[in-house]
Amino acid sequence: MSTARPRDALPLPRLIVATRNPGKLREMRRLLAPFSWRILSLDDVHFDADLIEPGPGYADNARAKATVVTASTGFTALADDSGIEVDSLRGWPGPRSARWMSGSDADRLEGLIAEVDRRSPDDRRVRYVCVAALARPEAEPVLARGECLGTLVAPRGSGGFGYDPAFLSNDLGVTFGEADDAAKDTVSHRARALRRLAEAGVLEAQLSYQ
């Protein structure tokens, strides 16, 4: 005869964050902390394959990454594709934000500022965009989009990652490089995408009582 166990005694189901970006992994861990998951990295599950981004859009890339990790491991996987879009440049660099030029994050940040200085010095409005995809075994992936608005400025602060030091948030009045984690996590594009996944009910982990 089986005896039901208390909810807090049950093993947490696994959720793999499908990214090799250490800054994004840290941020995802914070954003997922309220939910009942055991958060794992790709290294934790020995997933060594490349994460292919077939494009052309954020949704295509997020869906592809989450789906391949779930298919390979049998666990729920969360992936996102995100980028910065310059309004006056018709959303460039967008989904190519992490690879539109070679080099480091700092190189791309410097390059973006130089491009905006050259092509659109009087209109520096930008937005961060994130599409998150949650893939589960034997279920269709669920996608959600989040955006936040800002202005491209000279880098300030050392927090965050990617373009954060130059993203002056309309919501916070400081750059994401200056903002602390708690403040950024209330308004960021990634936080808003995950909030929409939560509203869809798919971030509530299903605990087994058997």
Query: ∠12-53-41 over CA atoms, to 5°?
Result: 25
Please give the structure tokens belonging to residue 82: 């995100």
Catalytic residue among 48, 60, 81, 171: 81
> What kind and span of H or E run contains 107?
helix 105-119
Q: Are strands 14-17 and 76-86 parallel, antiparallel or unpaired?
A: parallel
Taking alpha carbons only, the member of 143, 131, 137 closest to residue 206 is 137
Residue 144: beta bridge partners? 132
Residue 107 annotated in active site: no
CA–CA separation, 110 and 105 (whole Å): 9
Hey, is 147 helix, strand or coil? strand
- Long-range pairs of 204-208 with CB within 8 A, sequence gap ≥ 24: 204/35, 204/36, 205/12, 205/13, 205/15, 205/35, 205/36, 205/37, 206/13, 207/7, 207/10, 207/12, 207/13, 207/36, 208/10, 208/13
Residue 6 CB: number of other CB atoms within 10 A? 7
Cite the active site residues: 81
